Amino acid sequence: MTHTSPTTPSPTTQTPKNVDPERHARRMAAKQRIMAERIASADKEQGVLLVLTGPGKGKSSSGFGMLARALGHDMKVGVVQFIKGAFSTGEEAFYRRQPGVAFHVMGEGYTWDTQDRERDVAAAEAAWDKARELLQDPDIALVLLDELNIALRYGYLDLDRVLDDLQARPAMQHVVVTGRHAPQALIELADTVTEMKVVKHAFKDQGIKAQKGIEL
């Protein structure tokens, strides 16, 4: 028998902060219908929303690993990188060379680099416009929204708009969202959520700078 802890809040009875209650209720009702359908037919093919969050290393790495897996199945994929665009990375250099990849780097560096909220908001909104294009394209089988959670945490994007666009995507499209501090409403909407935990980290514990092939 499965027991539910009495201290565990039910996602159907609590409305996350900064989310319109009516829109939230509609999204949750739609998600309940989808879940009921999945239980009734376990062999159903369905696009999934994955959220990779938490303070540990590996969120973006996992997302890009799934991107490679999708390409191995000859699927078309799309990437929008939020926040990280001030420096080059190995994944950008690699995936831009691959056919079937729409790769967009829209950020202007981490927030402590810009010190300009208006500029950060403008960059995030431009990034979401590109993300929405991918989310509306049924030919794109997987969309990676790298570091989207950071943009949401700082209020650079409207959370309701993001959630609505995610839910309105093509039925077979997979989406992976990465970044620390995933908002509760996004966690509730997601099909799979993984929280990365720090045990040890080379930078924090030993002062080792970001390494090519590992962080870059």
d(CA 116, CA 138): 36
- Cα-Cα-Cα-Cα dihedral sign, residues 206, 212, 215, 216: positive
pLDDT reported for residue 110: 57
- Cα-Cα-Cα-Cα dihedral sign, residues 42, 43, 48, 54: positive
Instruction: Check: CB of residue 189 under 8 Å from CB of residue 58.
Output: no
The pTM is what? 0.77
pLDDT reported for residue 123: 87
d(CA 96, CA 64): 13
pLDDT reported for residue 33: 87
Q: Which pLDDT tens digit goes with each residue over 39-78?
A: 777 677 889 999 999 999 999 999 999 999 999 999 999 9
Which of 139, 136, 140, 135 minimizes the C-alpha distance to 148? 135
pLDDT reported for residue 73: 96
Question: Going from the N-terminus, what domains does the chain have, and what CATH number goes with each?
Answer: 46-206 (3.40.50.300)
Instruction: Check: CB of residue 145 under 8 Å from CB of residue 176.
Output: yes
pLDDT reported for residue 81: 92
In order along its 216 residues, the chain shows pLDDT tens digits of 444 444 444 444 455 667 889 999 998 999 888 888 877 776 778 899 999 999 999 999 999 999 999 999 999 999 999 876 556 788 888 999 999 999 998 866 555 566 788 888 888 999 999 999 999 999 999 999 999 999 999 999 999 999 999 999 999 999 999 999 999 999 999 999 999 998 887 876 788 887 877 777
d(CA 74, CA 60): 21
pLDDT reported for residue 84: 64
